[in-house]
A and B are shown apart, each in its own frame.
Chain A
Amino acid sequence: QSALTQPRSVSGSPGQSVTISCTGSSSDVGGYNYVSWYQQHPGKAPKLMIYDVTKRPSGVPDRFSGSKSGNTASLTISGLQAEDEADYYCCSYAGSFTFVFGTGTKVTVL
């Protein structure tokens, strides 16, 4: 149950797009279509942004999109806005009813 690997930080100007990668293995990301993404502002609880690789919960802007190729999942934020500045975590089902989170990525809006 090693943490999934994410870049420590990404940045972009307002209106630009940023993509966060999340690399695991065939035992987690590559083995299941159960990758989710969470946004966390300082001092707050995480918020679900994407589930089942590509699906958005009600209320999440369509600027947020997810994808997966092999053992790597990605979250893309299009039309970056100031309020998107936060930490983002991926999470994957890892079999046997267990889950593993990513190391986290800080998104900075320049």
Chain B
Amino acid sequence: QVRLVESGGGVVQPGRSLRLSCAVSGFTFSSYAMHWVRQAPGKGLEWVAVISSDGSLKYYADSVKDRITISRDNSRNTLYVQMNSLRAEDTAVYYCATTLHIAAAGTSHAFDIWGQGTTVTVSS
């Protein structure tokens, strides 16, 4: 059974750091690029970052690229995002996502597997 399980969320003060994790099971993690997508309370989805299957390539949304680092440990089947200098506007549910089943059709430009999300609240 394919599963993405995020963890690490919580309440954090502005300016502090936080690392989120996404534990993967049910497929060959090391073969797939992974993404982070976030959703502020009552707001829309925002794509945050992507990392290639081997971890060598990383791309970020302009809104976060100076404060967020995406990484992965293929030996632990786990995706990470390190968030620094957190601001109130970083308050959101953070989802990890990937392209899995539809990748067989030759596409990698959509997200067909999502985790349940972990909530980050930045507040003093």
Residues of chain A touching chain B, judged by Cβ–Cβ distance below 8 Å, are 1, 3, 32, 34, 36, 38, 40, 45-48, 51-52, 55, 57-58, 89, 91, 93, 96-104
Q: How far is the CA of A38 from the CA of B37 in the complex (A)?
A: 13
27 contacts between A and B (CB under 8 A): A1-B61, A34-B107, A34-B109, A36-B111, A38-B45, A45-B114, A45-B115, A46-B45, A47-B114, A48-B102, A51-B112, A52-B109, A52-B110, A57-B112, A58-B101, A91-B47, A91-B111, A97-B57, A97-B59, A98-B47, A98-B59, A99-B50, A100-B47, A101-B44, A101-B47, A102-B44, A104-B45
Q: Is the CB of B109 within 8 A of A57?
A: no
Given A45-B95, A45-B114, A55-B105: A97 and B44 within 8 A (CB)? no
For B62, the chain A residues whose CB sits under 8 A away are 1
Residues of chain B touching chain A, judged by Cβ–Cβ distance below 8 Å, are 35, 37, 43-47, 50, 57, 59-63, 95, 101-102, 105, 107, 109-112, 114-117
For A32, the chain B residues whose CB sits under 8 A away are 109
Q: How far is the CA of A50 from the CA of B101 in the complex (A)?
A: 13
Q: Is the CB of A97 within 8 A of B50?
A: yes
Q: Is the CB of B95 within 8 A of A91?
A: no
For A47, the chain B residues whose CB sits under 8 A away are 114
For B110, the chain A residues whose CB sits under 8 A away are 34, 36, 48, 51-52, 91
Q: Is the CB of B45 within 8 A of A91?
A: yes
Which of A51, A52, A103 gathers the greatest number of chain B CB atoms within 10 Å? A51
The 8 Å CB contact of A96, one of B59, B112, B114, is: B59
For A58, the chain B residues whose CB sits under 8 A away are 101
